[in-house]
Structure 1
């Protein structure tokens, strides 16, 4: 194995987007000369899900980064072309560990290079700060003026309720959501990134493997797309989490990023888990949003916790999972399936939770 491909560190971090400045959980892999990041798909990190890379040669690091008051655990990386990356860890200890390992990798590559201004390309496009993707999707679903999904064929297969890439680009330009076709392609890529639309068929599915955002969506009459199932229409049911002051008052024993399987759609989401004692509760938060309110949690009293086998997909688990699974069964017989980033981390979580059950 070459030195450049040896993994120095890996795990979850939350990254700020370049175009739309939202925050997304990504799986990061630190190598000798670059930091790769992947999207978790179906509970597993695959090479086809690689979203990008940060070249470390000439990179500078800022830790702690004070540019986000409500996100004190952010690390900033600036490449030699002055591209800035903001990465958030789950705790100060984890933040400092990542910063130390990245700094060591940068220093091993040689002296710091002068920061050069990145020249704009003919395709450069910055998304307006006030863009509202939810508003665009609502407009796309409008019965009179929105996108009309129809049956399309590709390579002998019929795809119902689909639309072509070029028709979506036409629609975005016609409704002044973008002024050029390139801007519309970038905007459509963001709609796909946010899981409002999804690629279907061979051509569009192959395109998303490209790490360049501008080439993930195809402005083509043979590339097919459809609305994603995750789109929530107005009036849909939204679970309200009732917070109890007592259960949130316990001492924090352990915290970290873990992947959790949803109860309804069975999809996998990265969550920030916080384990509290006296009283013993396990809460989980959406790390891409305001973390002052958990999206779920439960008492550990009477819970059963166990590691799951890594050879194959256990019963009750959906998706091509990475492994390092464990299961928690609450007193109310609710089953939680959770993935750690390593066997060692899984063992640490199981041991910490067992002490409180």
Structure 2
């Protein structure tokens, strides 16, 4: 039964604190913390991240050598690094975690999905959300002037801004018509925890969060020495406001799965690469040991094979390929369907495409096992070879089945 308290869940890659290797973990987000598990089926989390007064930074490739990494920095200076499989999934997690952080600091909190009428003029559409404006503040070319500070013991610099700078920005971009209106508006963002007031000790190399100090949380100070940091900093994103303006280990357990889904994006950024029709992390059953390992599968336009890669090493040489020409694709609904097919991997492929053609009796299987839902895909090649894959959700499985069928038919013409 699904836990109603869970806001979001899925597979992400987390950097370890001791060995500093990257491991796939199942993450669940509730209204107070972000928990992670070694396996999806585990009931006891391997750890939990208390999100009260946490700050988020979406690291760029300039900041870190891996893409789509979210840095979560706690009040005590402890930091976590988690990696999503692509930009869209990263942004979904970033937004969900940001909402939890802000709701934990609820001061006149209002849902972001509601419309907002801008203060001091109508230069921008009234449907623009506060989050849109905060993202515009972080724009690389037209955002608020950010300063950088190196905290003692921290790897990445902290990016901060002054109270006077953010007021100047609102007026210069005509979000507000007067400094009074700008102060009123930006103070509402402060109370709703879009950013935190901080005190920076330049001599000691310390950045102290003043979120709990009520004297700093009512109104933004219009001075050059009043400093603030974004609760969620995501530079380099395209904003509607401006228009178009470590080592890794492959020793995961067999039950580890990477991300639940990925949209259509390129594995690498070479201009000459064929267009990616679909890519995502699926579990693949091994041919020899029959264990399940997470693999990144990539389906490209006008290529005769599906490529799969190890873990999150998305720039490396593929581990293997699956020929698309004449490939048969079958979606399996539950464990009772999947297991008999695994027991007859050497039998010839079905000729009529029906699941009954390769189904064996289930009388010896328990009713409980028959009800166990899986999201597996059986691929059968023209030579009779069979590959068993497993998706995280039924929607993801069905999407893969549809895309592979289309690609196979195009290649087989």
Report the TM-score when normalising by structure 1. Answer: 0.56
> Size of the alignment, in residue pairs?
225
Give the superposition deviation at 1:341. 1.4
Taking the aligned partners of 1:50 and 1:281, their CA distance within structure 2 comes to 38
Which residue number corresponds to residue 399 of structure 2?
Answer: 348
Question: How do 1:13-28 residues align onto structure 2 when only pairs under 5 Å count?
Answer: 13-28=12-27
| Structure in which a larger fraction of residues adopt strand | 1
Taking the aligned partners of 1:46 and 1:36, their CA distance within structure 2 comes to 13
Give the superposition deviation at 1:349. 1.4
Q: SS at the partner of 1:356?
A: helix
Which residue number corresponds to residue 228 of structure 1?
Answer: none
Taking the aligned partners of 1:256 and 1:49, their CA distance within structure 2 comes to 27
Unaligned runs of 5+ in 1: 118-192, 197-247
Contact 1:251-1:277 within 8 A present in 2 as well: yes
Q: SS at the partner of 1:345?
A: helix
Give the superposition deviation at 1:276. 1.0
RMSD, matched Cα: 3.2
* Stretches (4+) displaced over 3 A: 64-70, 111-117, 193-196, 288-291
Q: Deviations over 1:69-114 (max 9, x none)?
A: 5412211111222221111111111221221122122222114777
Taking the aligned partners of 2:89 and 2:296, their CA distance within structure 1 comes to 13
Question: How do 1:1-357 residues align onto structure 2 when only pairs under 5 Å count?
Answer: 6-40=5-39, 45-48=40-43, 50-66=45-61, 69-110=64-105, 111=193, 249-289=273-313, 291-312=315-336, 314-317=339-342, 323-357=374-408
Taking the aligned partners of 1:276 and 1:356, their CA distance within structure 2 comes to 9
Contact 1:38-1:51 within 8 A present in 2 as well: yes
Change (3 A) 1:252 1:278: same
Give the superposition deviation at 1:315. 2.2
Change (3 A) 1:78 1:69: closer
Unaligned runs of 5+ in 2: 106-192, 199-206, 210-249, 254-271, 344-368, 409-413
Taking the aligned partners of 2:394 and 2:381, their CA distance within structure 1 comes to 23
Contact 1:258-1:273 within 8 A present in 2 as well: yes
Taking the aligned partners of 1:49 and 1:277, their CA distance within structure 2 comes to 42
- Give the structure with higher Rg (CA): 2
Taking the aligned partners of 2:30 and 2:322, their CA distance within structure 1 comes to 38
